[in-house]
């Protein structure tokens, strides 16, 4: 019984991480930060939109422990905490490629 509760808690924690990543803008931010630590001003430039909106997304990623930040004077810098996030995103891209290949095969078969 204890094992099941531990697994359920792990699943809930995993779901929280996935929920934090489940937004196109947050994925764009994480992808950008995979190149190294960046200032909020740089993140806002590539992400587009309002600074306050970008800050909310950064906060969600930070609460999920995907990103960390540090302050240097007036500047705040963010970075990806774990390089495995990049592996996860690469895996997601491979799943999409596989799915698209299957769809193309089906479409070619319909002709």
pLDDT of 33-80, one tens digit each? 999 999 999 999 999 888 999 999 999 999 999 999 999 999 999 999
In this structure, are residues 26 and 43 in contact, taking their beta carbons and an 8 Å threshold? Answer: no
The predicted pLDDT at position 49 comes to 84
The confidence band for 111, taking pLDDT boundaries of 50, 70 and 90, is low
Sorted by where each starts, the structural domains of the chain and their CATH numbers stand as 2-82 (1.10.10.10)
pTM of the model: 0.85
- Cα torsion 63, 67, 70, 74 to 10°: value is -90
Q: How confident is the model at residue 102 (pLDDT cuts 50, 70, 90)?
A: confident
User: Which position has the higher pLDDT, 1 or 41?
Assistant: 41
Within 10 angstroms of residue 85's Cβ, the number of other Cβ atoms is 20
What whole-number distance in Å separates Cα of residue 65 and Cα of residue 43?
18
Q: How confident is the model at residue 104 (pLDDT cuts 50, 70, 90)?
A: confident
| Percent of the chain surpassing pLDDT 90 | 76
């Amino acid at each position: 019984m204890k094992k099941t509760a531990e697994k359920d808690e792990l699943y809930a924690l995993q779901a929280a991480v996935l929920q934090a990543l489940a937004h196109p803008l947050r994925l764009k931010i994480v992808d950008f930060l995979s190149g190294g630590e960046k200032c909020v001003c740089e993140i806002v430039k590539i992400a587009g939109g309002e600074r306050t909106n970008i800050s909310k997304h950064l906060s969600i990623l930070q609460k999920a422990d995907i990103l960390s930040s540090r302050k240097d004077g007036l500047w705040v810098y963010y970075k990806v905490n774990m390089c495995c996030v990049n592996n996860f995103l690469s895996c997601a891209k491979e799943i999409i490629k596989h799915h698209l290949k299957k769809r193309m095969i089906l479409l070619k078969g319909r002709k």
